[in-house]
Amino acid sequence: MQPEISNPVVEPAEIPEPVIDPIEQAPPDVIAVTPPAEDAPSSTGSTAITALQVDPRYPITRPEYPASSVRKAEEGTVELLLYVLPNGRVGDAKVSRGSGFQRLDEAALREAKRSWRFTPATSGGQAVGSWGTFAVTFKLQS
């Protein structure tokens, strides 16, 4: 009599659900507004007077956590330098301090350019373009 052989049950490996920590931002009164770089767009040619603030009508969306970064357990914080146009959209975005993983940096840049909106800075009561910093933290759930 031969022993009975059964096929093993293979269950998919559990990959932790990626979680992006809430986007970290300094309080609006202390967000650094820096002068535009020489090659950056500028509608007024000067630095805005007021600080960047998230437009409450358009909540900040979370960047997609790259699947390969999830598999490789890559985590980190990306600091972005954003140029906000007078209409509140992001006109330019650069990495001012990377996470250490290019995929995470690119995901944050892509999302900022695609869908983020801010309340534009003002000068003399008029909306103006301005630079500000914003940080995104990518963190896997434990």
CA distance 118 to 93: 13
Q: For position 140, what pLDDT does the model report? A: 87
**Residue 74 domain-assigned (yes or no):** yes
Domain that holds residue 54: 18-37+48-140
- Model pTM score: 0.65
Contact in structure between 114 and 106 (CB atoms under 8 Å): no
**Residue 13 domain-assigned (yes or no):** no
**Residue 80 domain-assigned (yes or no):** yes
Q: Higher model confidence: residue 7 or residue 129?
A: 129
Q: For position 123, what pLDDT does the model report? A: 86
pLDDT in tens, 30-75: 233 333 343 444 444 444 434 468 888 988 898 999 999 999 999 9
* Local structure of residue 100 (DSSP, 8 states): S
Total number of domains in the chain: 1
Q: Higher model confidence: residue 102 or residue 122?
A: 102
* CATH label of the domain that carries residue 126: 3.30.2420.10
Beta strand extents in 22-141 (DSSP E only):
53-54, 76-84, 90-97, 118-119, 121-123, 126-128, 130-140
